[in-house]
Amino acid sequence: MSSGYLWVKAFHIVFVASWFAGLFYLPRLLVNLALVEPGSSAERERLLGMARRLYRFTWLLMWPALALGGVLWLYYGVGLGPGSGWMHAKLALVVAVLGFQQACRWLLRGFERGSHRPSHVWLRVFNEVAVLLFVAIVVLVVVKPF
């Protein structure tokens, strides 16, 4: 293995882990927003500000994670060739992660407008989706089951 490959792989892992850290916490902020008492505008604005900044942070971390993953896949050939079904499944899950991130944005916009307010229970369940996606992706990459 070339040292270039190892550097790309290391930074891909760092950016993916950082991206997911934001995706783990952003829905939790939405849970807290759903629990804000009516009339508590200071708390609501503080949580909205935190959620906006965290969403922007996850958006910024997403790009290098995707770019470095693309380099591993297309330049270094990771997941190409026979026995690469795991990569197809992983890419499908990455698309699902992108959809999850956009769902977070849609939910955040709803809180900003005050027009969409899902229950804190629903948001707690939604909060676990990122964890399940992360676990599935890690298992596919490490175990390569097919």
Predicted confidence pLDDT, tens digits, the chain (146 residues): 789 999 999 999 999 999 999 999 999 999 999 999 988 999 999 999 999 999 999 999 999 999 999 999 999 999 999 999 999 999 999 999 999 999 999 999 999 998 877 999 999 999 999 999 999 999 999 999 99
pTM for the structure as a whole = 0.94
Question: What domain range includes position 113?
Answer: 3-143
Tokens linked to 44: 């609501």
Overall domain count for the chain: 1
Say how many CA atoms lie within 13 Å of 32 toward its Cβ. Answer: 14
pLDDT of residue 39: 87
